[in-house]
Amino acid sequence: MTDNDDTSINEKNIKIFIRFFPLEKPCDSCARVDMKHKKIYVRRLQEIQSNRIAVPKKPSYWCFQADGIFCDSSQEEIYRVTTEDLVSKILDGVSCVLMGYGQTGSGKSFTISGLRNNWEHRGLVARLLSCMFAEKANRRKVSKIEYHTSFVELYGKEARDLLASDVDNNKVKINEREPFKDISMVCMNNEKEGLRNLFKGEVKRSIARDSAYPASHLATSVITFHVTNTSLVTSWGIVTTAKIHIVEAAGIGTVGRNCCCWKTATDIGVANLMKIQLEQFFSYVGRSRSSVVNVIRSSNLLKILGDTTLVSSVIRFISHIRITREDLDITLSTLRFTAKIARLKPVRIKKDVRYRSDLILHRLQEEVNALKKELMLNDMFLRQEPLMNISKARMKQINRNILQFLNDKISDFTLFSVSQAQVLLKNIKDLYNRLSAKEVEVEKLKETYETLMRSVSEVGSAETLPKETELLADEQINERKRIRSLSDEEDTKKKEIGSLDKSTIGVTLGPYADEEKNLKMKRFMSSKHILKIDDENILAVRRLLDTFLKEEIEYTKIKRKFDKNEKTLAVVRQRFTHEIDKYFQAKRNLDDARDKLSKHRQIRQIMDVDSWKGKEAMFEIERTIERDISCYQKVLINLEEEVDQTQREIDILYNRHLDMSSKLEYGFREYCKRKAFLLHYTDKLMNILLIPTKESSDIIRYKFDKFQRKMLRRTEETGRTKKVRLDNKRICASANL
């Protein structure tokens, strides 16, 4: 059982699944499946032997448990049950293994790769690839996700890199500590590139001739997706790395059987040996470390899988069996291997999570600065200066610093001992006492002023104004009110009596001109198809834009340049962000060095330099700091030039962006007018149309079919070439005889 953060406690990290090969006439008495599809009952071999004398009254069965049994299930259902949850796990830093194994001709290639199937029956690898890039698109704002792929074919002690550029020399040596050191890891930027790599490797796989199936593979293939997920959230800046190995094991069997007649004894023996090595490995896991190491050293498959085959990773096994009387022994062998794996006791899932190196460096730098300040404070407290030794000039300087600080002329100042702090507190207390005394004086003056005002008002109330003066004052107030009311009425009476017609200078139209314009606009809009660029109609407008780009070749070229410019602009902006961070970091370093130099100079001025033994050392420290300041200044100048250059580059790219977007917008408007469409949109919504969208399932399906046809053609050409070579060798051999 697992107990990690992402999965529930009851979820297992090792799951076993069984898939039946569909047959026209399966042997119903050989195997049975319960109603929940969690148990399979297989008939005992002893009871169905032809030379058996005693016949039992009731048949007996072996019972094998699994997490899921697929009798007649679609590829989509199998993917949903077995593989769909692995995408989120590998992005969280959990390595995974998906392995398909079983008898020859039981449908392993159909289930795992499915690259020779049609689109509806494509395998788990292609479906997993689609989900990986869909999740990358969903997390693009919070994570930077990178995918790499490798494709290896294993046959005994030999290993071939199927994605190597050199076709003739693609054999590699698997290193135990660094298995992917000599193996090609190809970057995948989109789903199209991923499918191209898969089909490129599928063409180079070894296939048995004269098989009963379109392609019967002779060797084991391992497709590995290397995933790196870097968080863009600064407060949670982590990097997770993981791998998911998709293993399609070579088919096991018995020499001479009908299902294996097209394979040689060597091919079947190599496949059976790999199965035995896997059985030994899982038998020794958790028991004997030395035995596990010995088994890993003897198997290239285990070297590639590495730590992901341990129970601390997520493992999915899909057993493929054929329910026939002839294949019952191989079916039992496969299910016993499955039962051994299911009995393993899993432990807590391990995640490969690391913090971002740049954020760690920044945090360590902050800790170093904090420790430096702490050392300075400790030095200050340990070296206390007596009050009597503080000079009068220093006391006056502290007093001036206090006044400048209170008047916001300086932001801070430095004290070099506890004694100077005592002087500071004493001066602040003196200032407070003086301020309190002044406040008392102000209160007394206020009381004196209030008594004088009361006496003046009492004297003024005794005298009365003449009647004529009062009447004149009332008339003036009424006149002002009347003038104000008239001005308000004039403002309310002001109305728009017409609008200026731009076509005729000096002529104004009546108040009904706007209504006529609105009426004409309504008639015009009623005669057009109105498309509003919003969430409801965005797909229709996007399809209209795609049609416009297909019909207008000139604007298609502009759109390609626009997309290329957008990618370049995104890269340059990211570079600009890194350069800005470096610039501010260099500026902080320069400010810290200047502060450090000023503090050392203040210390040298305050102390008695003539009697101090470390005079030369102090000057040497100051000279070192000055050299550091000059270096920081040069670095800052270089960074300023880089930032300016990048800013100019961004301006050029952005101007191109505006120019091309305006051209595309104008062309799209004219196209809509010709097609009798009227668009209502804003600049923001128009920009949404120009953003490159992820490829739809129809496009991916078209590319899948295209790569598949190309792969089949190359396979046929390779087969014809090999046949011609064999014929030539036979002719040469007969001629020599």
Q: Which residues are annotated as a binding site for ATP?
A: 102-109
Indicate the annotated binding residues: 102-109
Question: Each residue of 487-523: b (16+ CB within 10 Å) or e?
Answer: eeeeeeeeeeeeeeeeeeeeeeeeeeeeeeeeeeeee
Instruction: Judge whether 87 and 234 are in contact, CB under 8 Å.
Output: no
Report the C-alpha gap between 179 and 151 in whole angstroms: 13
Containing H/E element for 391? none
Report the C-alpha gap between 49 and 113 in whole angstroms: 37
Instruction: Judge whether 100 and 248 are in contact, CB under 8 Å.
Output: yes
Grouping H, G, I as helix, E, B as strand and the rest as coil, residue 699 is helix
Instruction: Judge whether 487 and 476 are in contact, CB under 8 Å.
Output: no
What six digits make up the tokens of 621? 């420290």
Instruction: Judge whether 308 and 95 are in contact, CB under 8 Å.
Output: yes
What is the full DSSP assignment across 433-498? HHHHHHHHHHHHHHHHHHHHHHHHHHHHHHS---HHHHHHHHHHHHHHHHHHHHHHHHHHH-----
Task: Output Rg (C-alpha) for the chain, integer angstroms.
Answer: 42
Q: How many helices (H) and strands (E) does the chain have?
A: 19, 17
Gap between the terminal Cα atoms of the chain: 68
Containing H/E element for 691? none
Instruction: Judge whether 155 and 161 are in contact, CB under 8 Å.
Output: no
Q: What's the angle, vertex CA 526, arms to CA 524 and CA 528, rounded to 5?
A: 75
Report the C-alpha gap between 482 and 605 in whole angstroms: 76
**Per-residue CA distances from 508 to 494, 501, 503 (Å):** 17, 6, 10
**3-state DSSP of 114-147:** CCCCCHHHCCHHHHHHHHHHHHHHHCCCCEEEEE
Question: Each residue of 585-605: b (16+ CB within 10 Å) or e?
Answer: ebeebbeebeebbeebeeebe
Angle between helices 615-674 and 538-551 (to 10 degrees): 80
Report the C-alpha gap between 31 and 335 in whole angstroms: 12
Q: Which of 715, 706, 714, 718 is nearest to 195 (CA)?
A: 706
Grouping H, G, I as helix, E, B as strand and the rest as coil, residue 107 is coil
**Longest Cα pair distance anywhere in the chain, in angstroms?**
154
Q: Which of 736, 708, 713 is nearest to 120 (CA)?
A: 708
Report the C-alpha gap between 91 and 523 in whole angstroms: 56
Report the C-alpha gap between 403 and 413 in whole angstroms: 11
Report the C-alpha gap between 297 and 135 in whole angstroms: 36
* Cβ-proximal residues to 469 (8 Å cutoff; 6+ apart), any chain: none
